[in-house]
Every structure is written in structure tokens, then in C-alpha cells.
Homo-oligomer: A and B are copies of this chain.
């Protein structure tokens, strides 16, 4: 279908002929796989053992940004949430709410990114839904994805499993997605080349857990960034976190922007960077594996879990001074994911 100049109308969301056409021409054309359903629900072989299930809504503004768009992000977010539980992403659903008048060309780009990202992560999109809201009743397009995965044998991760002495890792440099969105909004007049880190991380996680199933914690540092995740882990496991400031990988462009604006990259969202907590003796092996994987070669140990300072995160500088990382909770950048 030639989509140029065409826009989504209320009739595309009414459940009749136009809805069927939209599904056939845009969604089926991209998401086609043996499980993709025309019925009320997809019929799927049940995975064995334990499954993981997660959902995420995406409302990012702007919806196209350097390094990705809302479609790619919506697949990465759910794939990464499953990955954090050690679950192989199997089935994904996606629900769209689209504003009347939304250009088909943009929808096509979004859906095509979703297809590519799902393929890369090895997950199948099995069911979808489309609603159309009137002009001004939704800002462009919102996407909700939900995923089901099979948890790898012998793997059990949880924020409460961090133990004193464990190493704290990040799988890449931090704060890039949040910084990128901030620049895209162009409210500060800053010119800097920062791409979102938005990426599906299942292949990296699978490689690590295949060799080291006993990783204690895996969390993706999305909204709230690495700082918020570390406070959550400290509180859930009743331990402390001691970070070495100089070890924390930050892209020089991100550092420049955050210094200029007085922001802390620890509190900017990542969309392709995980926090891992690993027993000290397994740390080098995990790092070596991550370094061989596509999105995680910038991985680094940034600190360790402590018995003291329970529930808190302490930052140590190169010259040895220590300060508490500020508690998260202020109003952060809205609509970053």
C-alpha cells in the first residue's frame, strides 16, 4: 500500500473494515509469524518450568530520537525486563493508542523498527490491539508491550539477593537515553551528539547466564537511572552500596551536557544498560563475557555491596572523600520512555 500522505482516522479504530485493513497492511505485513493471531487471542505452546511476565507503556516524546524511536524502545523495554529475570523472551503483544490524523508513514517506520528489534531479540509478536482517539485526546501514539518469557534453569535473580562483598556492574556507559531525549527536546539550545543507548539486551544476558547462572541481581536502569536502581537494590537486600566515582563509565558528550545543566548522569535513564550484582569471584568472568557482546563492551565494575550503610548508596571519589548519592525522588524528566 502506498502510505504517503495518508493518516489514521477514527474509522481505523472502530473495529470494522478499516481496522481490518490497518491490521493487514501495517501490522500483519511486519509482524507476520506462525503465532500472530486473527482471533481474540493467540494460541501458543506453553513454555515449561517458570515463566516471567511483564508489561510497559511507552509515551516517549519526541517519538523519533537519535538511536531509536518509540517502537524500538517499546520492544527493548519489555525484552530487557524479561532478560532481567533471566527469562528468554518468547511472546510479545503490543497495544497502540493512536491520535486521529497520525501519519501512516510514521506508523510504518515505528512498526518496522519493532519488527527488526523483535527479530534481533528472537521474540515473536503474537497479538495486538489498536485504538484511535480523537485529535488532542492522545499525543501522537502510545504503545504498550507485554512479554512472556521462559526463565532459564538454575537462574534466580531478585533485587533482594545482593550480598556484602558482591561486585556492582553496569553493562555500558550510563545516562545516554535520558540525555538524548533532553537534547532532542531542544529546550536548552545545546548542540551535542548523544545517541540513546536503546538496545535489546537478551543476547548479552543469555551469554552471561549460560556460563554464570548464579548472578544475584539484574536490573535495567530505565526511568530513574542507575542511581534509583541502586537505592532499590540496597533497600530490598538490606545492604549498602559503595561506588567508585572514577569507575563509572559516562560518555564524554553526556558528561559535558550534564555538567553544563547541573544534572547527575546517575539519575538519567538508560534503555540499553543494565545493573548487575555478582559474587566477587565471578566478576571477571562476567566482564569477559559482556565484553564480547554487541551492546555491552563498555561494561565496568563501579563498586561493591557493603554490610554497612544499609539501604544507602555511598559515592567515593578518586581522592577518597565519600558522600551519599542523593536519594532519588525529585521530579525527573517526564515522558522519557
Where the two chains meet, the residues of A that have a C-beta atom closer than 8 Å to any C-beta of B are 9-11, 13-19, 37-59, 61, 80-82, 84-85, 87, 91, 93-97, 126-134, 136-139, 142, 144, 146-151, 157-159, 219-220, 222-224, 228, 236, 269, 327-335, 337
The answer on a CB contact under 8 Å between A139 and B142 is no
State which of B55, B130, B335 has its C-beta within 8 Å of the C-beta of A94: B55
The 6 nearest A-B residue pairs measured at CB? A15-B223, A17-B329, A41-B54, A15-B224, A146-B146, A55-B93
- Do A327 and B52 form a contact, CB below 8 Å, given A150-B46, A158-B39, A335-B133? no
Residue of B nearest to A144 (CB): B144
Least distance between A85 CB and chain B CB atoms (Å): 5
Least distance between A22 CB and chain B CB atoms (Å): 12
How many protomers of this protein does the assembly include?
A: 2
The answer on a CB contact under 8 Å between B81 and A54 is no
The answer on a CB contact under 8 Å between B46 and A131 is no
Residues on the B chain within 8 Å of A44, using CB: 50-53
Residue of B nearest to A47 (CB): B46
A48-B48 Cα distance, complex, nearest whole Å: 7
Excluding A46-B150, A55-B95, A137-B138, 8 further A-B contacts by CB distance (< 8 Å) are A13-B334, A41-B52, A42-B54, A46-B46, A55-B129, A57-B129, A59-B97, A133-B139
Determine which residue in A82, A138, A327 has the highest number of CB atoms from chain B within 10 A of its CB, and name it.
Answer: A138
State which of B15, B85, B134 has its C-beta within 8 Å of the C-beta of A222: B15
A163-B307 Cα distance, complex, nearest whole Å: 69
A228-B220 Cα distance, complex, nearest whole Å: 43
Residue of B nearest to A48 (CB): B46
State which of B15, B18, B129, B331 has its C-beta within 8 Å of the C-beta of A14: B331
State which of B43, B49, B136 has its C-beta within 8 Å of the C-beta of A85: B43
